């Protein structure tokens, strides 16, 4: 059975602290953790590194990645290094997406790796104003994937480069899926993702832990249209 909980905090800072606390606890417990890119979670990742500088028992995956070199500002690998990994006293095992082999080869390798390890325990997601999550964009054929855990997908947004993303089945298999969404420009996407029936037009409405918990952490601005 899937359980959805919505936590509304006053500010982006409080929302970030909520996710940071969950990440620090998961790191301490040596969990398998998958992290999204985007600008929203940066402060949460930084705070998580302060709260728990020893991530040596944990394993960190990327929820999605753009096929760019790891030094490119659009790289989620770079973002994770800057906001989390390079700030830790003891790093986790980290699996970047091997984008140098191209999107489809990288998806195949990441899939094999993911299947060879215990299931994901905590997955941190964001939402775009169009309702996308991970690199699962409205109307994308990647949303129809029922078997694979990782696929190559088309770019739905700038930069228009191929991407690699966890699929809905991969997200569904996770014990705990946590969305961090802040800001008024996301309010309508939040309403569609968590207040309306699931639809391909709003990929975040389809991303749920199937047998565990899905938590949505919002600030007041992002929650303002949610009933
Ligand atoms: C990414 C993502 C993506 C992101 C949303 C929200 O790497 O870009 O995984 O799904 O979470 O686009 O991004 P912002 O936090 O920048 O609004």
pLDDT tens per residue across span 117-134: 999 999 999 999 999 999
5, 65, 174 from 177: Cα distances, Å: 10, 18, 7
Determine whether 124 is exposed, middle or buried from the number of CB atoms within 10 Å of its CB (0-12, 13-18, 19+): buried
**Ligand 1 near 37 CB (within 6 A):** yes
Residue nearest atom 14 of ligand 1, based on CA coordinates: 38
Residues 8 and 223: beta-carbon distance below 8 Å: yes
The predicted model gives 12-28 an average pLDDT of: 98
Axis crossing angle, helix 42-51 with helix 12-28, rounded to the nearest 10:
50
Which atom of ligand 1 lies closest to the CA of 76? 7
pLDDT of residue 2: 80
pLDDT at 186 over 90: yes
The predicted model gives 160-170 an average pLDDT of: 95
Residues 133 and 204: beta-carbon distance below 8 Å: yes
**Ligand 1 near 128 CB (within 6 A):** yes
**Ligand 1 near 126 CB (within 6 A):** yes
204 Cα to the center of ligand 1, angstroms = 11
pLDDT at 141 over 80: yes
Tell me the pLDDT tens digit for each residue of 41-92.
999 999 999 999 999 999 999 999 999 999 999 999 999 999 999 999 999 9
Which atom of ligand 1 lies closest to the CA of 38? 16
The predicted model gives 179-204 an average pLDDT of: 97
pLDDT at 1 over 90: no
pLDDT of residue 226: 83
pLDDT at 157 over 90: no
pLDDT at 25 over 80: yes
Cα distance between residue 178 and residue 174, in whole Å: 10
Cα distance between residue 157 and residue 159, in whole Å: 6
pLDDT of residue 168: 98
pLDDT, averaged across the chain? 96
**Ligand 1 near 134 CB (within 6 A):** yes
pLDDT at 143 over 80: yes
**Ligand 1 near 182 CB (within 6 A):** no
Residues 155 and 145: beta-carbon distance below 8 Å: no
CA atoms within 13 Å, Cβ hemisphere of 91: 13
pLDDT at 137 over 80: yes
Q: CB 205: neighbour CB atoms within 10 A? A: 20
């Amino acid at each position: 059975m899937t359980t959805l909980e919505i936590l509304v905090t006053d500010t982006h800072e409080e929302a970030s602290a909520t996710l940071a606390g969950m990440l620090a606890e998961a790191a301490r417990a040596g969990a398998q953790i998958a992290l999204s890119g985007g600008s929203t979670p940066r402060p949460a990742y930084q705070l998580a590194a302060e709260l728990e500088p020893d991530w040596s028992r944990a394993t960190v995956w990327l929820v999605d990645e753009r096929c760019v070199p790891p030094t490119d500002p659009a790289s989620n690998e770079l973002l994770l290094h800057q906001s989390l990994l390079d700030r830790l006293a003891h790093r986790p095992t980290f699996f970047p997406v091997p984008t140098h082999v191209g999107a489809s080869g990288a998806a195949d390798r990441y899939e094999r790796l993911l299947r060879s390890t215990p299931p994901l325990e905590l997955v941190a997601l964001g939402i775009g104003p169009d309702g996308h999550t991970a690199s699962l964009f409205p109307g994308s054929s990647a949303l129809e994937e029922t078997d694979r855990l990782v696929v190559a997908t088309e770019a739905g947004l700038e930069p228009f480069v191929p991407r690699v993303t966890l699929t809905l089945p991969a997200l569904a298999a996770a014990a705990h899926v946590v969305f961090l969404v802040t800001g008024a420009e996301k309010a309508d996407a939040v309403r569609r993702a968590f207040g309306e029936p699931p639809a391909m037009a709003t990929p975040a409405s389809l991303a749920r832990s199937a047998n565990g918990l899905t938590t949505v952490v919002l600030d007041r601005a992002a929650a303002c249209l949610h009933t």
